[in-house]
Structure 1
Amino acid sequence: MAVAPRVLALCGALALLSGCAASATSPRLPPATGGFDYQLGGAYEPAPDVAIVVRDSGDPVADGRYNVCYVNGFQTQPGEADSWAGLLVLDDDGEQLVDPGWPDERILDTSTAENRERIADRQARLVAHCAEAGFDAVELDNLDSYLRSDGALTPEDNLALARLLIDVAHGHGLAVAQKNAAELAERGRAAGFDLVLAEECGQYEECATYEAVYDVVLDVEYVEPAAYRAMCAAGILPERSVLRDRLLAPSGDAAHVAERCP
């Protein structure tokens, strides 16, 4: 498989990616059967019928499953804002722009090609870690961060960064999931995303938009169980859907909820 020139450049620039080009293979998509679980709040043993597991990049892979690695592609991870200095969107007062829903996450400045290359260089290390840890795919969270940028960013800015990160992930043989942003489904697929990982596409009536573009759509809903079951009965959810608690608490925690359509 030929590796895009910018992938080679990123690989050559980072010691952690020294084997990137050599290991490039076609990404493997999730299996066609089996359930799906979303475990970002802490890893736990999946139910026997679960075939696909999403976990944080710091957690181990689930043995015998298709594993998706969480990467906050367009915002900073909690506690890491200072190390991203110089790559952040700033407001008019010179303060770092935050995600109002997640105030410990800063929005990365994807508005220039130089910034996008610098961001991709750093995120490439995490993508490489996901590959080395045995994950099969990555999800790039916050593709829609431009909506929270007070007009500083455009969809084109984030899609341009997405293409860089997709090339790096594909260079490691990893599939790449678009995270949310139903309005960008067609453009995301054209950019190279292989599948979708959507949050609450049933609640916001977006599932069909994704399914019209992608063969693989994974969905997480956070509604009350009765509402989830109603959506299951109405047939509006993708086949791979799971109800989770908003904290994504691990099994055994009092807050833990995990339910799938029958």
Structure 2
Amino acid sequence: MHARRAARTRAGGRPLPVAVLILMALLAGCTSAAPEPAGKAGKDRWRPEPGIGWQWQLSGRLDPTVDVPVYDIDGFDHKAAAVGDLHRRGRKVICYLSTGAWEDFRPDAGKFPASVRGKSNGWEGERWLDIRRTDVLEPLMERRIEMCAEKGFDAVEPDNMDGYRNRTGFPLTAADQLRYNRLIARIAHRHGLSVGLKNDLGQIPELEPDFDFAVNEQCAQYGECAELTPFVKAGKAVFHVEYELPVARFCAGSRRLGLSSLLKKYELGVWRQECPKA
């Protein structure tokens, strides 16, 4: 909001002299609030580029020795020491969080009232959240993302960001999803973290400007990888995994599109198979 709003009348309603008006305008310009420093929250925020190598490990004992520039690991399961160790090895580290589903095994699970928990999302102990209830969810997600920042993570991977396309138990709309996803992106940026758009292919044209990279599962299996092109064209990485296709079925297409692709098992343990270099 602009601070230059010099009053044009005295308290009694009589016009101020022109010289006074000019002086007041100059003073207002000098005292207007300075813009928020860019710092890590602005131009210096990490922005991974297309084709960068990565490892995604959400289960099992963390193996920090995979020789890739980026790791994506669970934000709750790992302490600052693990993040620091990966940094010393030259890695950037992404903090995995579920922002669109409730998980009964998380330490903050009891803070989510029953009214925002919907139907199962297909995983044991998880339920879709009513993302319309930002009055409840914003402070909870703020604290989760703040935790990632405090542990030293470079970015956030918010999961379950496409509830509007699923049977959640709530009448969610595309507009609800856009508002919520942008909220999560703003919170991450407030804490100096990059943020990735997880799946939600249908809203990429609207959401790409709000996110720093994308994370996708199985776009090759379902013939959807070209929908991620806006991220690549914007110079942003697309971290992509397949679970059921052999690398021979998707790597050529991934290279052509500029994706960072892996074959993983569903449990997302240490095992990985990356696309061979061209």
Could you state the TM-score of these two structures normalised by the residue count of structure 1?
A: 0.76
Within a 5 Å distance, the mapping from 1:1-262 to structure 2 comes to 25-26=41-42, 27-30=45-48, 34-42=52-60, 43-48=62-67, 50-57=68-75, 58-59=77-78, 60-61=82-83, 62-63=86-87, 64-80=90-106, 82-89=110-117, 96-99=118-121, 101-111=122-132, 115-146=133-164, 147-150=166-169, 152-190=171-209, 192-214=210-232, 215-224=236-245, 227-235=246-254, 238-250=258-270, 257-262=271-276
Conserved in 2, the CA contact under 8 Å of 1:88 and 1:106? no
Q: Distance in 1 between matches of 2:248 and 2:104?
A: 33
Q: Which amino acid aligns with 2:119?
A: L
The CA RMSD over aligned residues, in Å, is 2.5
Kindly provide the CA deviation profile for residues 165-186 of structure 1, in whole angstroms up to 9, marking residues without a partner as x: 2111101111110000111111
Preserved contact between residue 52 and residue 65 of structure 1 (Cα < 8 Å): yes
Question: Does the CA-based 8 Å contact 1:74-1:158 persist in structure 2?
Answer: no
> How many correspondences in the alignment?
223
- Take 1:248 and 1:237, find their aligned partners in 2: how far apart are those partners? 24
Change in CA separation of 1:195 and 1:127 when aligned onto 2, cut-off 3 Å: same
**Rg larger in 1 or in 2?**
2
CA distance in 2, matches of 1:155, 1:189: 15
5+ long unaligned stretches in structure 1:
1-20, 90-95, 251-256
Q: CA 1:172/1:232 → structure 2, altered by over 3 Å: closer, same or farther?
A: same
Shift of residue 77 of structure 1?
Answer: 2.1
The share of aligned pairs that are identical, in percent, is: 32
Consecutive aligned runs of 4 or more in structure 1 exceeding 6 Å deviation: none
1:109 maps to amino acid: D
Structure 1 residues 117 and 46: CA distance shift in structure 2, 3 A? farther
**Could you tell me whether the CA contact under 8 Å between 2:219 and 2:225 is conserved in 1?**
yes
SS of 1:106's equivalent? strand
For the 8 Å contact 1:207–1:238, the answer to whether it is kept is no
2:34 maps to: none
Q: Is the 8 A contact 1:78 1:105 kept in 2?
A: yes
Quote how far apart the aligned CAs of 1:87 are: 4.5
Is the Cα contact below 8 Å between 1:30 and 1:66 reproduced in 2? no
Q: Is the 8 A contact 2:52 2:237 kept in 1?
A: no
Encode CA deviations 1:14-63: one digit per residue, 9 max, x unaligned: xxxxxxx9976222112566411111113212422x11110000313223
- Does structure 1 retain, via aligned residues, the 8 Å contact 2:130–2:170? no
- Is the CA contact (8 Å cut-off) linking 2:131 and 2:176 kept in structure 1? yes
Distance 1:120 1:194 in 2: 20
- CA shift digits 1:149-207 (9 cap, x unpaired): 256111211221222221111011111100001111112224x1121000111112222
**After alignment, is 78-87 or 199-208 more displaced?**
78-87
- Extract unaligned runs of 5+ from structure 2: 1-36
Query: Match of 2:41, as an amino acid?
Result: T
* CA–CA distance in structure 2, aligned partners of residues 164 and 118 of structure 1: 13
